[in-house]
Amino acid sequence: MTMAAVGFLAQVGILFYFAAGIAFDVVAS
């Protein structure tokens, strides 16, 4: 794996985690 791929996966993971957190807040409220 290249460093670029690792950085890209890290960014996607953070965005997905953030979106999932918002969705959970909306569903839970």
**pTM exceeds 0.75, yes or no:** no
Q: What angle do CA 23, 27, 29 make, to 5 degrees?
A: 115
For the chain, the domains span 1-29
pLDDT tens per residue across span 1-29: 799 999 999 999 999 999 999 999 999 98
The per-residue DSSP string of 1-29 comes to --HHHHHHHHHHHHHHHHHHHHHHHHHH-
- pLDDT for residue 1: 74
- pLDDT for residue 29: 86
